[in-house]
Amino acid sequence: MRKNILLVFLIAITLILQSCEKAYKPAHGAEDEIIVVADTAEFDSLKSSLCTIFEKVIYTPQPEKMFHLKRISLNEIENYQTNKNIILLASLNSSANTSKFVKALIDTSKSINITVDNDRIIPKYNLWAKNQLVMILTAPDISHLEECLEQHKESIFNAFHNISDKRLYESLHNSKFEKLNTEGMLLKQYGWIVCVPSDFTIAENEPDENYICLKSSSGKDMGKWIFVHWIDNASPLYLNEDSIRIIRNRLTASYYNYPGISSFIKIGNDNCIHDEYTFNGKYALLTQGLWEDTKETEGPFINYTFYDVNSKRVYMIDGSINAPDYYKRNLIQQLDVLLKSFKTKAELTNEKQDELLKAAE
């Protein structure tokens, strides 16, 4: 028994000391994988709650999970120490090794304060690797921990989703891999930018229609499209589900031509989500679901529509995928991150504007 306790403390102290060495090494592993360090009995008791939080299903059109959970035992932690997403899950009144490890980690780390009579969600960023999230989920006992998971399920999920987006954004929004000259042209001509990765080209440029479409040329059997459409001197009254559906269907019918598809492209009626969203500080409507055509082809899309007070424009920013032979969860997240890189001229610093305009010369 004493050997087990000593081992737990040694592991905790070793990992804390190693964190100084590994803090700037990039985290690795799949974006959609979360490593859960937990004892078997406690994990089994909380597995349903964890799956409800993280294994949300999106349809692409195949059902795909947002995250996949992988439980490991405490003695495996050093093999996964630099993974991107880690959860340390334990009740504090347990005699199991993971509980002892969590308490040792808390006691040893001066940056974490916790009392054993409260539930705690402790996110630790860059603990053992760069752009890593290690989240401690603990409570006095399993029942309190289950209540804690239910009460804070949205914030727990969002923490992992947001850092995943941050990692992708940094990998995509990089001057080595993006077309600054194209971004500068968009800024100069239209007063906005969106990150343009090196594998994207302008497929449609229709100034009279206030419509720009960017297409990825990464492969013949995979299509990725982003379009930006705006309405000048507009009203926020455009921000409703019916208007968004009508406008998007009109644009895709006019401009979207997928390989081998010549039929009408429209928003599908099944599994379509409409939600309110804050896009760069502005109220927006998020629409996410499937596009479909009359030849029974389907694929995922994501759309943000918002009103910009400064320019008095309604913007519609949209990304879609046609990749029937691929796992699409990560692809749609990549497009989502690109859409969120959208900024108007007023949201850019003078230095950034000068850099982009110079690149467009």
Domain boundary among 130, 156, 171: 171
Q: Do 167 and 295 have their domain in common?
A: no
pLDDT at 110: 45
Q: Do 154 and 300 have their domain in common?
A: no
Q: Do 24 and 64 have their domain in common?
A: yes
Kindly report, residue by residue over 59-116, the tens digit of the pLDDT. Answer: 888 899 999 999 999 999 999 999 999 999 999 888 888 988 888 877 655 444 434 3
Q: Do 41 and 167 have their domain in common?
A: yes
Count of H-run helices and E-run strands, the chain: 9, 17
Domain boundary among 122, 154, 171: 171
Give buried/exposed letters for 273-283 (b at 16+ CB in 10 A, else e). eeeeeebeebe
Q: Count structural domains, the chain.
A: 2
Domain boundary among 127, 148, 171: 171
| Cβ pair 196, 175 in contact under 8 A | no
Low-confidence ranges of the chain (pLDDT < 70): 1-23, 107-119, 174-175, 218-220, 257-264, 294-295
Q: Do 164 and 188 have their domain in common?
A: no
Q: Do 15 and 68 have their domain in common?
A: yes
What is the full DSSP assignment across 258-308? -TT--S-EEE-SSS-EEEEEEETTEEEEEEEEEEEETTS-EEEEEEEEEEE
pLDDT at 112: 43
Q: Do 110 and 191 have their domain in common?
A: no
Q: Do 17 and 130 have their domain in common?
A: yes
Residue 219 maps to which CATH number?
Answer: 3.40.1000.10
Range of the domain at 317: 176-359
Q: Do 120 and 181 have their domain in common?
A: no
Taking the model in full, what pTM does it have? Answer: 0.85
C-beta pairs of 346-355 under 8 Å, 24+ apart in sequence: 346/310, 346/311, 347/280, 348/187, 348/193, 353/187, 355/180
Q: Do 167 and 181 have their domain in common?
A: no
Q: Do 185 and 261 have their domain in common?
A: yes
Residues contacting residue 349 through CB under 8 Å, at least 6 positions apart = none
Q: Do 99 and 15 have their domain in common?
A: yes
Kindly report, residue by residue over 201-223, the tens digit of the pLDDT. Answer: 999 999 999 999 999 976 667 88
